[in-house]
Homo-oligomer: A and B are copies of this chain.
């Protein structure tokens, strides 16, 4: 086997039911198809079509070979798709790293759209702490990062503000604070607050520390699990607790001093002065609308 055009004729003739219709479809003259398939049959030493009737029909051997021919042409199409992707200068790989507090439905939706638009570009998705995000980008280990904003990085990477991540102060529905109205700072001191350990040296926590009795965790999912156990209260990303609040499993605290929802700013991070291919560019623009 050496000639893909002959395979195309083979399959198109099966599809169309005649050599001349196949020729029309493939933009050739009838005799080209007639000879092409005859040559294929000679090459393989296999009779593919039964020509005793007006319309050529597959022999059992042709029937047996058809799926194999289809598999070849399928692979050829995959190959061509990657060639086209290369010629559009699409990246082979885009790497995105974000704080795992940000793994929300709106984000995974964007990734799904990315898959549709760039089927030939691989995506590497990593989560880490916000502090590490900027580092990963700066060291060239990620192309795009998303993190809780932190001014100490603005010299090392390109930052782009994309919105606020709303946090709710929550506790379990059975926890004493759950049914309490108009909670003030003093009311909290007696209760355990579970807070994110952020390793920030120079700047504040992204959410305030209000209770005297503090526990720490390095991941919001850990904190959520402890809150569900009824161990205390905490500020948690709204998207992480929305379902549980609606189900009545967790409660938002009625804090008198939180005039509006606590919402730390979120930055998108890219390497300084770095050009982007179309896939990365698309993802960059899409992520700007993450909080819309």
A92 within 8 A of B: yes
Interface centre among A5, A44, A72, A74 (most CB of B within 10 A): A72
Q: Are the CB atoms of A64 and B82 closer together than 8 Å?
A: yes
Chain B residues, Cβ within 8 Å of A4: 1-4
Nearest residue, chain B, Cβ from A81: B68
Q: Contacts of A44 on B, CB cut-off 8 Å?
A: 83
* A2 cross-chain contacts in B, Cβ below 8 A: 3-5
B72 x A75 contact (CB < 8 A): yes
Q: Which residue of B lies closest to A5 (CB)?
A: B2
A203 interface residue per 8 A CB criterion: no
| Minimum distance in angstroms from A179 CB to a CB of chain B | 60
A45 surroundings in chain B (CB, below 8 A): 83, 87
Chain B CB within 8 A of A76 CB: yes
0/1 string, A68-87, CB within 8 A of B gives 1: 11011011101110110011
CA–CA, A87 and B1, complex, Å: 14
| Contact A92 B75, CB 8 Å, known A3-B4, A83-B46 | no
Write out, one digit per residue, whether chain A residues 83-109 have a CB within 8 A of any chain B CB (1) or not (0).
100110000100000000000000000
Given the contacts A4-B3, A92-B60, A76 and B72 also touching, CB distance less than 8 Å: yes
Evaluate contact between B64 and A68: CB separation under 8 angstroms: no
User: Which residues from chain B contact A75 at a C-beta distance below 8 Å?
Assistant: 68, 71-72, 74-75
- Inter-subunit contact B72/A68 (CB<8 Å): no
A65 in the interface (beta carbon within 8 A): yes
Nearest B residue to A72 via CB reads B75
CB distance from A32 to the nearest CB of B (A): 14
Report the bound CA distance from A76 to B64 in whole Å.
Answer: 15
Q: Across the interface, name the chain B residue whose C-beta is closest to A80.
A: B1
User: Given A2-B4, A3-B4, is A79 in contact with B86 using a C-beta cutoff of 8 Å?
Assistant: no
A95 to chain B, nearest CB (A): 16
Question: How many angstroms between the C-alpha atoms of A104 and B92 in the bound complex?
Answer: 52
Cβ of A174 < 8 Å from any Cβ of B? no
Asked if A115 is at the interface of the complex by the 8 Å CB criterion, the answer is no
Could you write out 21 A-B pairs with CB less than 8 Å apart?
A: A1-B4, A1-B79, A2-B3, A2-B4, A3-B4, A4-B4, A44-B83, A45-B83, A45-B87, A46-B83, A46-B86, A60-B92, A64-B82, A64-B86, A64-B92, A65-B79, A65-B86, A69-B79, A71-B78, A72-B76, A75-B75
Beyond the given pairs A65-B79, A65-B83, 14 more chain A to chain B contacts, judged by CB atoms under 8 angstroms and listed by A's residue number, are: A1-B79, A1-B80, A2-B4, A3-B4, A44-B83, A45-B87, A46-B83, A65-B82, A68-B79, A68-B82, A72-B72, A72-B75, A72-B79, A75-B75
* Cβ-closest 4 pairs across A and B: A68-B79, A72-B75, A71-B75, A44-B83
